[in-house]
Amino acid sequence: MNNLIPNVIQLGWGGDNGWGTSIVQTIYMTFWPAIFGGILGLIFGVALVVTEPGGILENRIVFSIVDKVVSVFRAIPFIILLAFIAPFTQLIVGTQIGTTAALVPLSLGVFAFYARQVQVALESVDHGKIEAAQAIGATNWDIIIDVYLREARSELVRVSTVTLISLVSLTAMAGAIGAGGLGNTAISYGYDRFNNDVTLVATILVLLFVLIIQVVGDILAKKLNHQDR
């Protein structure tokens, strides 16, 4: 192994640059932005659907504002977003550099993408079911929870899976602010130093992360889809 992947062995498991540290940093930068960005994206996605023309809470002004906010954040390349919101990141977490600092731009970078995915998923719900719920006196909140979110839960799992995979790729770019992770290892300790074995192993580990997310997401989506039937 020392002859086959010498630079991989040299990095070791622990320490600031070890493989174990990089894996934990990648999980950390995926988990918390998935929570924060996911909640924010879900709120904005629901707001887009219920306030759009013909929605249960139709409001053109609110819809226009929410739609513009989501569109703006989707349009900003992530690497530029890192620099653009640096003062805000400093205000929130007290630093602009490091793994924790990356949580803010990662959350904001993923929420707009997820909001659009949620919008598409909820718009796929049969409008007849919404009208039926209104006919029996269901409140708007009941319709959002019991009709929109429940009927679209399988599709929501699918779009959440896509979003998580996209988030893993964003963690690689977060290395630009010293966030660490497998993406940073692949570039800083692999590509930049011509250590192809490090780049290869880091890439394989990232692919494993993506594969696990995809498999779990597919299984859960199929299970929920069968329950709906």
Q: What value, to the nearest 5°, has the Cα angle with vertex 211 and ends 209 and 217? A: 105
CA-closest candidate to residue 153, choices 128, 113, 125, 114: 125
Determine the Cα–Cα distance for residues 55 and 76; give it in Å rounded to an integer: 28
* H-helix segments, 94-152: 99-123, 127-135, 140-142, 150-151
* Cβ proximity of 110 and 33 under 8 Å: yes
Helix (H) or strand (E) holding 177: none
Determine the Cα–Cα distance for residues 69 and 47; give it in Å rounded to an integer: 12
pLDDT in tens, the chain (229 residues): 667 788 888 888 887 788 999 999 999 999 999 999 999 999 999 999 999 998 999 999 999 999 999 999 999 988 888 888 889 989 998 888 888 888 999 999 999 999 999 999 999 999 899 999 989 988 999 999 999 999 999 999 999 999 999 999 888 888 756 788 888 888 888 888 888 999 999 999 999 999 999 999 999 999 887 665 5
24 by Cβ neighbours in 10 Å (0-12 / 13-18 / 19+) ranks as middle
Domain annotation covers residue 190? no
Range of the domain at 94: 25-182
CATH label of the domain that carries residue 94 = 1.10.3720.10
Domain annotation covers residue 81? yes
pLDDT value at residue 15: 79
* Cβ proximity of 37 and 107 under 8 Å: yes
Determine the Cα–Cα distance for residues 32 and 221; give it in Å rounded to an integer: 22
Domain annotation covers residue 205? no
What is the distance of C-alpha 33 from the center of its chain?
A: 6
* Cβ proximity of 48 and 62 under 8 Å: no
Domain annotation covers residue 187? no
Domain annotation covers residue 151? yes
Give the predicted TM-score (pTM) of the model. Answer: 0.89
- Both structure tokens of 87: 């003062």
* Cβ proximity of 176 and 79 under 8 Å: yes
Domain annotation covers residue 93? yes
Number of domains observed in the structure of the chain: 1
Q: Can you tell me which residue has the tokens 């620099």?
A: 83
163-172: b or e for each residue (b if 16 or more CB lie within 10 Å)? bbbbbbebbb
Domain annotation covers residue 150? yes
Domain annotation covers residue 226? no
Instruction: Report phi then psi at 97, rounded to 5.
Output: -125, 140
* Cβ proximity of 57 and 140 under 8 Å: yes
